[in-house]
Amino acid sequence: MPASTLDIDHLRGWIGRQEVLHDTITAFPVAALAATLDRDDAEPLAGDALPPLWHWLYFLPRARQSQLGPDGHPARGGFLPPVKLPRRMWAGGRLEFPGTLRVGDAVTRTSTVADVSRKEGRTGPLVFVLVRHEIAGPEGVAVTEEHDIVYRGLPGPGEPTPAPRLAPEATAWRRDIVPDEVLLFRYSALTFNGHRIHYDRRYVTQQEGYPGLIVHGPLLATLLVDLLRRNTDRRLAGFRFRAASPVFDTAPFAVCGRPEGGRVTLWARKADGTLAMDAEASLD
């Protein structure tokens, strides 16, 4: 789609739009994600701290079936701007954890469309949407998050892909992951994510042109923080991550980490040695 067909001024009219949602930190999603990540955790009880990033199990979309778009996401418009580009991806984010959410808490998420911008990429126009979330529980604000969403067109026939970046070699921590259909299905179910790129092989290969099912960006980020939790008891104060290239279910990948004082560098490394996601955690 040529950039001239994107009315960026119209899309920027969504800046400042807000959405307020309410939920309760129930125990079952906590236990289910622990099982999905192959953790041997105790059964969650009221008052237990919710691990960082696991707030993504709550405030889930509840669009009616008739309101879904062809990609399985809710049809565009409403809270998010109606960007008319076929590919929509979670590109990265920045989070801080000033408090703690706990099992049993009644919680509120206030979301704001902070910015909408357009850039020109190798495959045509890109539209970036920045959403800010603030999640509060009984003790006040516990999580602040900036969420980057990118929209892009489909590549043309024979169009070259950008050269991948190599992942770092030196690592202190590493865990190998097999991203099979069951893992992707379980995470999609836990987050009520209907995006077909994560479970519908015919759609993702024939309609979007990818070689296989795509591992969720939030799942990659969750696995990186889970690696951190498996190797240190220090509290996570802040976390930032950025997607570098998609991970498919066609080969295993690794989540890796290297502590550096009060910070930890984290990354996801694909089987060919290239970088899928890089991240940085700050610890208390």
Residues in contact with 122: Cβ distance below 8 Å, sequence separation at least 6, in sequence order: 159, 160, 162
| pLDDT over 90 percentage in the chain | 82
Residue 32 tokens, joined: 């289910």
Residue 47 has pLDDT above 60, yes or no: yes
CA distance linking residue 280 with residue 168, whole number of Å: 13
Question: What's this model's pTM, rounded to 2 decimal places?
Answer: 0.93
Residue 2 has pLDDT above 70, yes or no: no
**Whether the Cβ atoms of residue 115 and residue 129 lie closer than 8 Å to each other:** yes
Mean pLDDT of 69-97: 88
Residue 50 tokens, joined: 């919710």
Going from N- to C-terminal start, the domains of the chain cover 3-283
Q: What is the pLDDT of residue 158?
A: 66
Reported as a pLDDT band with limits 50, 70 and 90, residue 154 is confident
Domain 3-283 indexed as CATH 3.10.129.10: yes
Distance from the Cα of residue 55 to its chain's centroid: 12
Residue 4 has pLDDT above 70, yes or no: no
Q: What is the pLDDT of residue 3?
A: 44
* C-alpha dist (Å) from residue 20 to 23, 69, 124, 223: 10, 23, 34, 28
Q: What is the pLDDT of residue 69?
A: 85
